Amino acid sequence: GRRIMGFPINIENEKYTRNALMFNVGFVFDPSTDTRPFESVLRKLASVLHTLEVESEFLSRGASRARLATILPEVLAALNTRGEGVIPITPDTTLCLKLFPWLPQPPPVEDHQVPVRIRDLDALVAKDWDLTLQRIRSFIDGVNYVKRIALLADMDVELVRAA
């Protein structure tokens, strides 16, 4: 068996036979492969091909469609060998793809656990930081536990756990 992931595209326009161009960009995997890192890459590849078709009929014209036969193996080789690739498609368009590992969800935070700073949070703080983090960062000192931080910051313990 194989695992198939596809991203179908439908472009409606009277210039196409049946007034639409339908295509599906897809990857085929071994059944044991974690496909989550490939989702964003597939979405981007489909989006770029959609845009190229709308702007310059890249897929519906024979000359440029033939170029697709060399682009797709380049994408495969780049992702399989390096996990990323920069592939020229047209003189004006370059496809940049990169696989990012899918990180597992962290374990649940309990009320009795003590957060410890491993970086200087004060140096990292920005105006657009989450309001909860801005409010609790001064109470994260390696001694205060989650529930106590919530009490000191006068916040709901669920918000502090999530932060």
Segment 83-109 shows an average pLDDT of 91
Q: What is the pLDDT of residue 149?
A: 94
Distance CA 117, CA 110 (A): 17
Distance CA 147, CA 111 (A): 5
Segment 97-112 shows an average pLDDT of 90
Model confidence at 63, in pLDDT bands (50, 70, 90)? confident
pTM for the model: 0.67
Concatenated DSSP letters of the chain: --EEEEEEEEEE-TTSGGGEEEEEEEEEE-TTS--HHHHHHHHHHHHHHHHHHHHH-TTTSHHHHHHHHHHHHHHHHHHHHTSEEEEEEETTEEEEEE----PPPPPPPPTT-----SS-HHHH--TTS-HHHHHHGGG-SSS--HHHHHHHTT--HHHHHH-
Q: What is the pLDDT of residue 2?
A: 93
Classify strands 20-29 and 3-12 as parallel, antiparallel or unpaired: antiparallel
Segment 106-113 shows an average pLDDT of 92
Segment 134-151 shows an average pLDDT of 92
Model confidence at 112, in pLDDT bands (50, 70, 90)? very high
CA angle (35 as vertex; 53, 109 as ends), nearest 5? 125
Model confidence at 117, in pLDDT bands (50, 70, 90)? confident
Q: Which of 79, 91, 86, 14 is nearest to 52 (CA)?
A: 91
Distance CA 70, CA 67 (A): 6
Task: Out of 1-10, 112-121, 138-147, pick the least confident.
Answer: 112-121
Residue-wise pLDDT for 4-56, tens only, equals 999 999 999 999 989 999 999 999 999 999 899 999 999 999 999 999 999 99
> Does residue 126 carry a pLDDT above 90?
no
> Does residue 155 carry a pLDDT above 90?
yes
